Amino acid sequence: MKLMSAINLEFVVAKEDFSKAGEASSSIKKTLKKLGIDSKIIRKVAIVTYEAEMNIVIHSIGGKIMVDIDTEKIKIQAIDQGPGIEDTEKAMEVGFSTATQKVRELGFGAGMGLPNIKKNSDNFEISSEINKYTKIESLIYVNP
């Protein structure tokens, strides 16, 4: 990969907007492709951003996704404005989901989102405060 200065992307994600859901992730993926990042790394970033984006759409009252790309790493931050997660440890369990039946019928709510994000991150952190925010931070190294 050619040397480049850091690139910062930011996307606003609206709650329950399923018609636009996935657009931030698609846009991030296109940028990474243009930068010539390895396809295996792009796949990891795509999974992380997609799951984070869908979490904001399904569970939050709205939020944003920020991606910082430099020559060594890709940092993905997803922050929403609440309602927050009561038990983040429980939320990390495979199969645990608070998604509604309606959302599940569309194929969401498998309880795989956060585990998928963690699995594809080289470093992963989640923090949340009730009625305030949930924040996830995922770090993926460009040359693992």
The only residue of 66, 92, 112, 139 in contact with other proteins, by rule CB under 8 A: 112
Question: Are 49 and 76 a contacting pair, CB within 8 Å?
Answer: yes
50 binds other proteins (CB under 8 A): yes
Cα–Cα distance for residue pair 46/43, rounded to 1 Å: 5
52 binds other proteins (CB under 8 A): no
11 binds other proteins (CB under 8 A): no
Q: Which residue is listed with tokens 């997609």?
A: 50
Nearer residue to other proteins within complex by CB, 18 or 141 = 18
The only residue of 54, 69, 85, 136 in contact with other proteins, by rule CB under 8 A: 54
106 binds other proteins (CB under 8 A): yes
Q: Which helix (H) or strand (E) holds 74?
A: strand 73-80
Cis before 144? omega within 30: no
Q: Which helix (H) or strand (E) holds 53?
A: helix 39-59
CB of residue 21 to other proteins, shortest distance in Å: 5
Strand duo 73-80 + 133-141: pairing: antiparallel
Which part of the chain contacts other proteins (CB under 8 A), choosing from 2-10, 45-53, 60-68, 124-132?
45-53
Ramachandran angles phi, psi of 73, nearest 5°: -150, 165
Binding site for other proteins (CB under 8 A): 18-19, 21-23, 25-26, 29, 39, 43, 46-47, 50-51, 54, 106-108, 110-113, 116, 119
